[in-house]
Amino acid sequence: MPSEQQSAATHCRLYLISPERIEHPTIFADDLRAALDGGDVAAFQLRLKDVSDDAITHAADTLRPVCQQRDVAFIMNDRPDLAVKLDCDGVHVGQEDMPYAEARRIVGPERQVGVTCKASRHLAMEAAEAGADYVAFGAFFPSGTKAVTTPAELDILEWWSGLMEVPCVAIGGITVENCRPVIAAGADFLAVAGGVWNHKDGPKAAVRAFSEIFSAHR
Ligand SMILES: Cc1ncc(COP(=O)(O)OP(=O)(O)O)c(N)n1
Ligand SMILES: Cc1ncsc1CCOP(=O)(O)O
Ligand SMILES: [Mg+2]
């Protein structure tokens, strides 16, 4: 992920979220390569759920080089300890995972820490003031990936981007079809899973389409 100064000067970018399960990381690596080669992607988050640390390790060791060869930040979800152990570029923590300060203590000053703030201005201010590299708002649309989410409104993005330099990420059910108002409201990054992996023309076409929309909004 770029620094806040860079992101303030540039346009909205894609933050790709992995599927919750990756049965065969070497096969998925081909899908990831294709997706990343479809257009501009700022970051990829490994978001595996209910799998062993060995499975996360195998996936990270297979997928991290694919990202880092393309200058795409490799972010670990939920687990600052694994972010360090597996040499990730950063970690994303939610309100139910651990406090920002604890995640920062584990990953140190060099790796990025992003924080889920749902639809809360208070949580976002708190995270940014504590030193988070980005705050994430959502869900903006119903998500097929995560069933239980807090609905967020676009005005939180307008408010944040008008006030703060720390980048904001929008997440939740975002697709090529519905993303334009989210970009216009001021999101620095769109975090997307289903809208890429389940796109009717495949992940590469989805990333290309997002990139074209971002360019048109510059
Ligand atoms: C970029 C980004 N934003 C929000 C989330 C959600 O994090 P969390 O609330 O901890 O939920 P899980 O993803 O862990 O189910 C995220 N992962 N990434
Ligand atoms: C992890 C997460 N947090 C809020 S919505 C969501 C799921 C994102 O995936 P999708 O883009 O498929 O809705
Ligand atoms: Mg989490």
**Predicted TM-score of the model (pTM):** 0.96
The tally of CA atoms less than 13 A away on the side-chain side of residue 147 is 0
Which residues make Cβ contacts (< 8 Å) with residue 126, sequence separation at least 6? 100
Q: Does the beta carbon of 75 lie inside 6 Å of ligand 1?
A: no
| Homologous superfamily (CATH) for 19-216 | Aldolase class I (3.20.20.70)
Q: Where are the domains of the chain?
A: 19-216
Could you read off the pLDDT of 110-137 as tens digits, one per residue? 999 999 999 999 999 999 999 999 999 9
**Shortest-distance Cα residue to atom 9 of ligand 2:** 193
- Give the position, in ligand 2's atom list, of the atom nearest the Cα of 194: 12
What SS3 state is found at 163?
helix
The pLDDT averaged over each successive group of 10 residues in the chain (218 residues) is 49 98 98 98 98 98 98 98 98 97 98 98 98 98 94 98 98 98 98 98 98 94
The whole-angstrom separation of Cα 166 and Cα 159 is 12
The whole-angstrom separation of Cα 60 and Cα 215 is 30
Distance of CA 167 from the midpoint of ligand 1 (Å): 16
Which ligand sits closest to the CA of 170? 1
| Ligand 2 neighbours (beta carbon < 6 A) | 17, 138-139, 143-146, 149, 171-174, 192-195
Helix then strand then coil, % of the chain, to nearest 5: 40, 20, 40
Quick one: DSSP state of residue 190?
E
Does the structure's ipTM exceed the value 0.95? Answer: yes
Helices (H), the chain: 4-9, 25-36, 53-68, 80-85, 100-107, 121-130, 155-163, 180-184, 194-197, 203-216
User: What are φ and ψ of residue 146, in 5° steps?
Assistant: -125, 115
Taking the chain, what is the end-to-end CA distance rounded to the nearest angstrom? 18
Which ligand sits closest to the CA of 140? 2
